[in-house]
Structure 1
Amino acid sequence: MSSLVGIVTVALVASLFMSFTVGANSNSAPIAPAVGANALSTLRGALLVGLVAALGAVAQGGSISETIGHGLVTGVTITPLAATATLLTAATLITIGNSRGYPIPSAFTVTGAAIGAGVALGGGFAVGTYAEILGFWFAIPVVEGVLAYGLAWLLLDETVPDTLSIPLLAGGVGYALANVQLSFLPAPHSEQGSIAGVLTRQLDLAATGIGEASTALVGGVIGLLTIVAVYWQLRRDVTTGINRMLVALALVVVFTSGGSQVGLATGPLESVFESSLGLPSLYLLALGGLGILLGGWFRSPRLIQAVAREYASLGPKRSIAAFIPAFLIAQAAIALGYPISFNKVMISSIVGAGLVGGSSSSDGVSAAKTGYTVGAWIASMVGGGAISFALYHALAALPGLG
């Protein structure tokens, strides 16, 4: 019994450390353009990163946590020892990489480590799930690049007034936000509901004969109200309106990043919380949210300042163009339960938006860098899997742990 308590404790500490790292690294980039545009101070940006990303972790982190904890191997239930091997492997590799200046993609490392520990436990490969996740990963740069390029071209086109393009884009984001699933909102036939769904039931619109279209109608009204609010602000002052849109969109992306990244730290412990501790997964997400909050507060200011300098040449409009595809892709990943590297999501959008008008953000994009990035994905997954597999067997061989 004491050995089990020790293993679970180590796994919890490793999970908290990983979520701290995620909060410091993966959630800081979206707020940097607002800091670079002097719309926010660095310290206020760091404060918002911690709070908003932690809220996103609790509100939207469940689906990806479920995939990491239950969907990557077949035929077994992840034990505390396997969870410990997964988290220790991923946390160690990421820490070593960061300390030596080699960025280790969290999503790929955790995914590989979870598969390695699960297979060592006697599980089988969930080949269908891997194919879906890999397909999504490889589609991200193409889809995001095209979307970001198109949006940047629209926003920078002088023949299209800002009072038209920016409110319309804001309305689309508002509609999407009204329909995302949130853990703290009830739904009649699922564990999570949406803002549009809750309002539909509160207003009893389904009984009016509109039927299933009622939720879409409410979402459309929310999107329309967003358009009006942003248009009104731009009519008063274009520069202030753009900066406020930039800040609001940055916070939406930070919220989404918390929901998409917390599962990397909490997923391996899903079975542990359910079986060994008898606690609902919401408590696990709260633990991950706490780590993200602390990471955002203590580590992100320096990262925000560094990234803000890189964003300076991008400008507010290109930053908006980069944020919207990142938000949509990350929300799609959350809905599907696919783990993603949020930094890679942001980079894909930044490159796409930066290509318009010859921005310096696109300088240095080469086949060599692309090959290095893909190589890092493969190496982190394969390496994480092999080390986690070996670590599980090493831990299991210790007296009292096997």
Structure 2
Amino acid sequence: MTVIEPDHAASSPAAPFTAERRPSRAKTIIGWTIVAVLVLIVAMVGLRVAVTAPGARGALDPEARDDGGALALADILRDQGVEVDVRRSRAEALTAIDEDTTLVMANPYTLTDEALETLTAPAGRVVFLSTGTHLLNELGIGENATGTLPAAAPDCDVAEFARVGTIRADRLFTPADGVQACFGDAEGAAVLVDRRSTPERVVVEGTRLFGNAYLAENGNAALGLALLGQTDRVVWYVPSFADSDIEAEPVDTLGSLTPPWVTPAILLLIIAGIATAIWRGQRFGPLVAETLPVTVRASETMHGRARLTARAADAPHAGQALRDGTQRRLARRLGLAVHAGADEVADAASDRLRIPRGTLQALLAGPLPENDAALVDLARRLDELETAVDDSTHVDRSEPTTHPREAEGNT
């Protein structure tokens, strides 16, 4: 609640208020510095995680120790006397392969069909531990089948699978004509063996069969030995994008289309914006406890409104304020009610000044001024009207009163 009092009643000073002391500037700077350092650390960690390339040890990698790696299967083969030669270069793998070697690889999606044919031609056996639709079509060995098998036995004429036992495969294949289907039937089998040509080719989806986390389940380890332990030497090729022969046309990106200086400029602007925010940022201070009511001088509100009106350059509003003030003062001097209308005040002023009624209506209730010049003229005329009414009031009170007897004597 705010109380406005006239100037003569506003002799007491404004009520005091209390406020807590704001924290020092040094503490504020230290706080903002800590926040900025934390933000930069989080941004750097997020950027590092976002741009970090996948590890060199992928799924069914014979040197990977994670759940998806195949290090356990490679160690079992070595324990059985099988030499496991890991190659990550297509050229090196090609020089290490002969007709007495088993070539093992996951789905070689990084190689073209020509490169895959060149790589597999010298081998005696080729085992694909994982596959895709394109590889199935390229090999002509079968197609994808729907459904899964809870537990599947070999059920085929392949002698090396006779002692494997049962496995549980997540992916089945429908064999092509002349291809043996094992661990399933002709509608869907987990392993396809193609002996129609040289080299012999075997396809199996081994991600959840030969991974380190699943090798000890069911007959998975025995199946891995049956597939890869038929020769004394295994060349395990690990496909990667670094060894790819696929030549793709570069795609235009926003980074490639913009000049080289755009990215550093954007980073510089971001850093400048963060620095400016820290520099200009100010923590909200504590709330100020203020005792109410607060005494405000009437002259302060008057001057404040006047300054606002002058700043807004609102001549009509200022003219109306001048008229309202003149009207109230004239009504008080003429003995009228404070809220008397403009026409009533104008008629009473006309009677006091002994001028025809209707003369002052345009001054007190006419169009408002539209510019500063008209406002100054209106203020001057209103001041002249008030002065004239004051003068007429003083004249009326100062005139002598004639006694009736003196009037009779004079007659």
TM-score normalised by the chain length of structure 1: 0.16
Q: Going by fraction, where is helix more abundant, 1 or 2?
A: 1
TM-score normalised by the chain length of structure 2: 0.16
Q: Choose between structure 1 and 2 for higher RCO, CA contacts under 8 A separated by at least 6 residues.
A: 1
Structure number with bigger Rg: 2
